[in-house]
Amino acid sequence: MLDQDFFAFCTGLRLLELKAIGELSRVRHLGEGETIYSTGDPGDALFIINRGVVEVMRPSAQQSAPATYLSRGDILGDVETLSGLPRKHIARTCEPVSLQCFQRKDFAELIRRVPSFFFFVGTQLALRLAQARDLAMAQSHCLELAGNLANFDLITVYQTIANSSQTGQLRISNAAGELVSAFFFEQGQPRGGQFEHLTGEEAFWQLFVNEHLVGTFTFSTDSLAEKDWIQSERIIKNASEMLINALQGRDEFAELKQRFQDTAVTLERAKPNLIWPAAAAPELQPVAEQIWAFAAKGPVTISTLFQHCAVCELKIYQTVDELLQSRHFVWSHDAASSKVA
According to the 3-state scheme, what is the secondary structure of 148-215? Answer: ECCCCCHHHHHHHHHHHCCCEEEEEECCCCCEEEEEEEECCEEEEEEECCEEHHHHHHHHHHCCCCCC
Residue ranges, CATH 2.60.120.10, the chain: 6-123
pLDDT in the model for residue 341? 42
Residue ranges of the chain that CATH labels 1.10.10 = 260-340
Burial of 242 (0-12, 13-18, 19+ CB in 10 A): buried
Q: What is the mean pLDDT of each run of 10 residues along the chain (341 residues)?
A: 72 93 95 94 94 86 68 91 92 94 95 93 83 59 69 83 86 88 90 90 88 84 59 85 86 84 80 93 94 92 90 94 94 55 42
**Separation CA 183–CA 201 (nearest Å):** 10
Cβ-based neighbours of 175, under 8 Å, separated by 6 or more: 214, 215
pLDDT of residue 338: 46
When the candidates are 1.20.58.390, 3.30.1780.10, 2.40.50.100, 2.60.120.10, the CATH number that belongs to 6-123 is: 2.60.120.10
pTM flag (> 0.75): no
CATH code that applies to domain 260-340: 1.10.10
DSSP 8-class letter at 59: -
